[in-house]
Amino acid sequence: MYRSTDTGASWKLADNAFVRVLTVGGRSVFAGTFYGEVLRSDDDGVTWTEVSSAVGSQFVVALAAGDRSLFAGTLGSSVWRYR
């Protein structure tokens, strides 16, 4: 995953996680990985923390952020809800 701080003029490697999908909710950026992890960054992608690995080994293929919930859809046809 790469990060830009100058509206895309240049890019730097932010994390080497195998990110499949990104979404934004409020001031947070969320990433779903090929390893079934959901990650959150509250500092524009400088650092990432694991929200949950509850989806197990299922690839996260979709993320949607609501007012108070985050939804993760997996390749295994499951939808997970995080509060």
d(CA 17, CA 42): 17
Cα 80 to Cα 55: distance, rounded to the nearest angstrom:
7
- Where does the pLDDT of residue 65 fall: very low under 50, low under 70, confident under 90, or very high at 90 and above? very high
**What domains can be seen in the chain, in order of their start residue?**
19-82 (2.40.10)
pLDDT digits (tens, 9 = 90+) for 2-57: 888 898 999 988 776 788 899 999 889 999 988 888 999 999 888 889 987 666 66
**Cα–Cα distance measured from residue 29 to residue 10, given in angstroms and rounded to the nearest whole number:** 20
CB-based burial label for 60 (10 Å; 0-12, 13-18, 19+): buried
β-strand pairing of 12-13 with 19-25:
unpaired
Per DSSP, the three-state class of 71 is: strand
